[in-house]
Structure 1
Amino acid sequence: MTFEKKKSSHLIAILQALFVTFLWSTSWVLIKIGLNANLPSLTFAGLRYTLAFLCLLPLVIFNQKHIQSIKNLTKQNWLELFLLGVLFYAITQGAQFLSLSFLPATTLTLLLNLTTITVAFYSIFSKHEKTSIIQWGGILLSIIGILFYFLPLSSTQSNQTLGLIAGIVGLLANAVSSIYGRHINSKSKINPLVVTCISMGFGGLLLLATGIITQGFGKLNINQWMIVAWLALVNTAFAFTLWNKTLQTLTAVESSIINGTMLPQIAILAWLFLNETLSEKEIFGISLVLIGTLIVQLWRYIPTNKNKTPSK
């Protein structure tokens, strides 16, 4: 491949990745619209991921390589994929949908953006990764940003408190599933599509069953079914497939930066379509969190002196 072709394919991958983050950002607006139309939050989430699982399933079962990979799964592999499905879909996504029924989209996005910081704390205390002074600065910056956004505390209604609790549960579950998913991918070497499809099937079906039992199915009109179908087919199944394709071209740093653009994207979309306004103080807080998390996330990819061969 010539230099010009490489440059062109790299630019296409960047644009595709940005498009995926835009699709994922629009999910928050569509979810809020569905929730405002009185769709039961857990049932809504369960429908999205169960349908997305059904969309991904043909890509797995009609691929002989993936079928052979599934046949080779051990009982331990199946248990790990089930636990990943429970963590990342049933708990994380269920908590996010529940939280969105009480909180503004931007507030929840800000909380979930702290996943990187939470994972960094895990790496620090488990001694899996040495944290530099620069990364500590990023963590401190993110904490200051959170304080700027939420303080001073106003008298919070009980439903908003429930939303914050659900959001924190979603944050912690997201961090744990991120660590656990990384462990599965590095240890088992199962194809990412197979991992996603199976874990999504377990988690989505469990979430749907929980939602129907606790909240009922709800009455969906044609517009609400279109929202569910779009979220499942386009924003989940298609977006995941396209994102995986971009990872074959983009570096980890580039993917991290592009993924980090979701916070401002969601804030802008929520302002345009959900009438969620932000004060100057809140915008400043969000900016600090965004910069802080990017520092923590990207600094690990910057080579340090210890990795260099000493001169003789």
Structure 2
Amino acid sequence: MEKYKAWLLLVLCNLFWAGNYVFGKYVVADVTPLWITFSRWLMALVALLPIAHFFEKPDWRQAAKAWLPLLSMGILGVIGYNLLLYSALVYTSATNAALMNALNPGVIVLFSVFLLRERISGFQAGGFVISLIGVLVILTKGHLAQILQTRFNFGDLLMIAAVVVWTVYSIIGKRLSGVPPITATAVSTLWATVAMAPFALAHPVAASHISRLAVIGILYMVIFPSIGSFVFWNVAVRMIGVSEAGIFLNLIPVFTALLGLLLGEPISWAQIVGGLLVFVGVYLTTGMLERKIAANTGAKSKLNAGGE
């Protein structure tokens, strides 16, 4: 029963994150990326700090000692990633942005090899190549032969930059010890909002009128992706582990595409083919297939040993 509860939390968690792309596309038409990021995380911070305090009961002195990595995480994960994401949505579709973001697990594995000296297998290397081909299919709209002549969508390129920024953020978080995940998010968000405040106050919220839809969109971003998704994710990870939970991240582009369809955004064959290649590549790069093969081999060996 606990596993099914974790699965439900993960489905909701990724549905909320998908909504961030869809709502972001509408909000960015009225509000600048800087003010979307600043207002979203400032309001989320009001809830994240008490949630971290009562849910994780952290040692706040330890969090204070880790100010440098948490500051770096705030600049990269809260400011950098979100500014790139919302800027990308000015130029590209929510579906394309979500498909590009699906490359994240594979890029994290690749960067871990170079920065953390982790080893990868042939399966994982091949998976990264397949994911990369999938991204190129999306970038070139299916015309791979014209890759050198194609002028890429600026928004898609910004999303690739966002993936790289999130990867570095994730690696810093991976190496951070002694600070629980929700607490790390709350403190890094605190640092980020303090850093953004002077820039946000020096620039206008929007070019002109802020629509009711934009206000609803920002409130959605605060309540669901910023607070709900992160809490649900951490609860689910505690129940079933990060490897199994990670599989559910592939639902983000699926939900984004479905929500986009409901709102009248078409899906091209290049997005479908490219997205499938990205998913297959991520499946291989994260080692899921190898673990499954190893588990099956181990089970057969035990069965044979028992028969003898």
Same fold (TM over 0.5): yes
SS in 2 for 1:249: helix
Q: Which residue does 2:93 correspond to in 1?
A: 104
Change in Cα spacing, 1:137 to 1:233, as seen in structure 2 (3 Å) is same
AA aligned opposite 2:267: L
Query: Contact 1:85 / 1:200 at 8 angstroms: preserved in 2?
Result: yes
Query: Contact 1:89 / 1:203 at 8 angstroms: preserved in 2?
Result: yes
Moved runs in structure 1, 4+ residues, more than 6 A? none
Shift of 1:117: 2.2
1:131 and 1:249 mapped to 2: Cα distance?
A: 27
SS in 1 for 2:71: helix
Shift of 1:290: 1.1
Q: Which residue does 2:159 correspond to in 1?
A: 167
Deviation readout 1:48-91 (Å, 9 max, x if unpaired): 1111111212334567933xx1134454x112211110110111
2:61 and 2:41 mapped to 1: Cα distance?
A: 24
Shift of 1:42: 1.6
| Matches for 1:168-207 after TM superposition, within 5 Å | 168-184=160-176, 188-207=177-196
Task: State the identity as a percent.
Answer: 21
Change in Cα spacing, 1:196 to 1:294, as seen in structure 2 (3 Å) is same
Q: Which residue does 1:40 correspond to in 2?
A: 32
Shift of 1:221: 4.5
Superposition RMSD in Å: 2.7
Q: 2:284 matched to 1:295?
A: yes
Deviation readout 1:19-40 (Å, 9 max, x if unpaired): 111111111111112123x211
Query: Contact 2:96 / 2:271 at 8 angstroms: preserved in 1?
Result: no
AA aligned opposite 1:224: A
Query: Contact 2:123 / 2:287 at 8 angstroms: preserved in 1?
Result: no
SS in 1 for 2:175: helix
Query: Contact 1:10 / 1:249 at 8 angstroms: preserved in 2?
Result: yes
Q: How many residues align?
A: 289
**Aligned partner of 2:42 among 45, 50, 56:** 50
Q: Which residue does 2:11 correspond to in 1?
A: 18
Q: 2:205 matched to 1:217?
A: yes
SS in 2 for 1:189: coil
Change in Cα spacing, 1:74 to 1:300, as seen in structure 2 (3 Å) is farther
Any gaps of 5 or more consecutive residues in structure 1? 1-7
Q: 2:271 matched to 1:279?
A: no
Change in Cα spacing, 1:281 to 1:60, as seen in structure 2 (3 Å) is closer
Shift of 1:173: 0.5
| Matches for 1:60-71 after TM superposition, within 5 Å | 60=52, 65-66=57-58, 69-71=59-61
Any gaps of 5 or more consecutive residues in structure 2? 299-304
Change in Cα spacing, 1:126 to 1:173, as seen in structure 2 (3 Å) is closer
Normalization by structure 1: what TM-score?
0.83
2:121 and 2:9 mapped to 1: Cα distance?
A: 32
Q: 2:238 matched to 1:248?
A: yes
Q: Which residue does 1:3 correspond to in 2?
A: none
